[in-house]
C-alpha cells in the first residue's frame, strides 16, 4: 500500500483552504500551514488541526513531502524555488507566475534540482474532464474545440492588485486555456502555432476576452472568458470531430455528454450535489500527482504546462493591444512584463510588424 504523504501549505486563503480539505478527504496529514500573515495561518491551522508556521520555518525544517504554494501569483516563483531547494515536492497553484521570465526561472531551478514542479490545474483531474480527455482520443481529428468561463469578478482582492498579473484573461483564463491545451494535446493536435485576441473593458469589473488559437492541422480553438457582475459561474468545454461531439459542463453542475447522450458512469456528482474537492478535481489531482511521482510516471500538468498557458495568455494580451493581430507561438515578445503590461501598445517586440 502506498504511504500517505505529509503536506505543508504555504498560503491560507480560499484556495489553500480547498487544498487543505482535499488533503483531509484523502486522509493525508497536513503538518504545517504558513501564510504571509500569522493571523490567517492560525485561522486555517485551527480549522485543519495543524500547527501554524512561517515560510522561513518551512524552508529551514522540512515538515513534509509535498508543499502546496497557494499565494498570489507574483510570489509563486520565489516561494516555489525556496521550497523546492528545501527538498519538497512542490505544487504551484495557477497561474504559475506573472511573467514568462519568472516562469523561466522556475523551470531552470527545477532542472538544477532534478525534481519537477507540479502545476495545479485542478479541472484537468476532475472526473468530467478526465472522461472527456479519455473519449477525445476515440473521436478522431478535431474540427471544433472551445471553452468558456464566465463568472462574477473576484471580491476577495482589489482588481488592480500589484501581486496579480492582469484581469479576466489572466486570473480566470488560465483554466479554460489549460483545458484547451490539454484537450488538443490528447487529441493529437499538438501545440498551437498562432493566437489572436480581443479584450474589451480591460481593468474593469466587466472585462471580457475572446481568444483564438490556430494549430498546425487547421484546427482553430476559441476561448471566451469574462467577468459578469451578478452572474452565476458558467463554464464549459466542447470538442467535436466528424465522428463525434463531446460537451463537458463544468460549472455550475459538472456533466459530460457524448453525441448528446449523458455519460454518467463514475462522472456525475452524488445526490448531495457537486463536491468541491472531488468533482472539481482537487483531491483526484493531488492523488494523481503523488502516485505518478512515487512510481516514476510522467505528470502531464507540470510547470511546463503552466508556462505554456502563460505564454498563450501573454501573446493574447499582446495581440489584443495591437488590433487583434496574429501572434506566433511560442511568444517572442518581452518576457519581463505581466499580461496587463503587454496589453499596452507602448512596448514593442523584435520583428513586430
Chain mean position to CA 306: 7
Sign of the C-alpha dihedral, residues 99, 297, 110, 79?
A: positive
Other C-beta atoms within 10 Å of 59: how many?
19
Cα 277 to Cα 19: distance, rounded to the nearest angstrom: 8
pLDDT of residue 264: 73
Ramachandran angles phi, psi of 293, nearest 5° = -65, -45
Domain 124-273+304-353 bears CATH identifier 3.40.50.300 = no
Q: Write down the pLDDT at residue 164.
A: 65
pLDDT of residue 353: 38
What residues does 144 pair with on adjacent strands? Answer: 240
**Which residues, including other chains, have CB under 8 Å from residue 191's CB and lie 6 or more apart?**
181, 184, 185, 215, 308, 329
Given this model, what pLDDT does residue 345 score? 81
Three-state SS for 287-302 is: HHHHHHHHHCCCCCCE
Q: 7-122+298-303 belongs to which CATH class? A: alpha beta
Q: So what's the pLDDT on residue 352?
A: 43
Query: Among 215, 221, 213, which residue's Cα sits nearest to residue 145?
Result: 221
Could you please report the per-residue DSSP string of 57-109? Answer: HHHHS---SEEEE-S-HHHHHHHHHHHHHTT-EEEEESS--SSHHHHHHHHHH
Q: Which pLDDT belongs to residue 203?
A: 86
Q: How far is CA 295 from CA 22, 83, 292, in A?
A: 21, 22, 5
For the chain, domain boundaries: 7-122+298-303, 124-273+304-353
DSSP for 117-178, written as a single string: PEEE-GGGGSHHHHHHHHHHTTS-SEEEEEEEEEEPPPSSS-TT-TTS--SHHHHTTHHHHH
124-273+304-353 shares the fold of 7-122+298-303:
no
Block mean pLDDT (10 aa), the chain, length 353: 88 94 97 94 94 96 95 95 97 97 98 96 95 95 98 73 74 96 97 98 93 96 96 96 96 94 73 85 96 91 97 98 97 95 74 41
219-240: b (≥16 Cβ within 10 Å) or e: bebbbbbbbbeeeeeebbbbbb
132 in Cβ contact with 160 (< 8 Å):
no
User: What local confidence, expressed as pLDDT, does residue 268 receive?
Assistant: 62
Please give the pLDDT value at position 351: 42
Query: C-alpha dihedral over 178, 180, 182, 185, to 10 degrees?
Result: -140
- What is the model's pLDDT at position 161? 56
Amino acid at each position: 500500500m502506498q504511504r500517505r504523504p505529509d503536506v505543508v501549505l504555504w498560503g491560507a486563503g480560499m484556495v489553500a483552504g480547498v487544498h487543505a480539505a482535499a488533503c483531509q478527504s484523502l486522509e493525508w496529514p497536513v503538518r504545517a500551514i504558513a501564510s504571509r500573515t500569522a493571523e490567517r495561518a492560525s485561522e486555517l491551522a485551527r480549522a485543519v488541526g495543524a500547527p501554524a508556521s512561517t515560510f522561513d520555518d518551512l524552508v529551514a525544517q522540512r515538515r513534509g513531502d509535498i508543499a502546496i504554494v497557494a499565494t498570489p501569483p507574483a510570489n509563486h516563483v520565489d516561494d516555489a524555488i525556496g521550497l523546492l531547494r528545501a527538498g519538497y515536492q512542490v505544487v504551484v497553484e495557477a497561474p504559475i507566475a506573472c511573467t514568462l521570465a519568472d516562469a523561466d526561472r522556475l523551470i531552470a531551478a527545477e532542472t538544477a534540482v532534478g525534481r519537477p514542479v507540479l502545476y495545479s490545474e485542478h479541472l484537468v483531474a476532475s472526473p468530467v474532464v478526465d472522461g472527456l480527455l479519455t473519449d477525445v482520443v476515440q473521436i478522431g481529428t478535431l474540427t471544433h474545440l472551445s471553452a468558456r468561463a464566465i463568472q462574477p469578478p473576484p471580491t476577495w482582492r482589489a482588481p488592480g492588485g500589484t501581486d496579480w498579473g492582469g484581469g479576466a484573461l489572466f486570473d480566470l483564463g488560465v483554466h479554460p486555456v489549460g483545458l484547451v491545451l490539454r484537450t488538443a494535446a490528447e487529441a493529437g493536435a499538438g501545440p498551437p502555432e498562432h493566437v489572436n485576441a480581443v479584450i474589451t473593458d480591460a481593468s474593469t469589473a466587466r472585462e471580457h476576452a475572446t481568444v483564438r488559437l490556430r494549430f498546425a492541422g487547421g484546427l482553430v480553438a476559441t476561448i471566451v472568458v469574462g467577468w459578469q457582475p451578478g452572474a452565476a459561474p458558467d463554464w464549459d468545454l466542447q470538442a467535436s470531430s466528424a465522428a463525434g461531439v463531446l460537451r463537458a459542463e463544468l460549472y455550475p453542475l459538472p456533466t459530460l455528454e457524448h453525441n448528446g447522450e449523458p455519460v454518467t458512469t463514475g462522472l456525475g456528482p452524488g445526490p448531495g450535489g457537486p463536491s468541491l474537492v472531488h468533482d472539481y478535481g482537487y483531491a483526484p489531482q493531488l492523488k494523481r500527482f503523488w502516485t505518478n511521482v512515487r512510481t516514476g510516471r510522467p505528470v502531464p500538468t507540470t510547470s511546463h504546462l503552466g508556462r505554456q498557458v502563460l505564454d498563450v495568455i501573454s501573446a493574447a494580451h499582446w495581440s489584443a493591444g495591437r488590433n487583434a493581430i496574429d501572434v506566433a507561438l511560442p511568444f517572442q515578445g518581452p518576457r519581463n512584463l505581466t499580461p496587463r503590461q503587454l496589453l499596452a501598445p507602448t512596448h514593442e517586440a523584435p520583428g513586430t510588424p
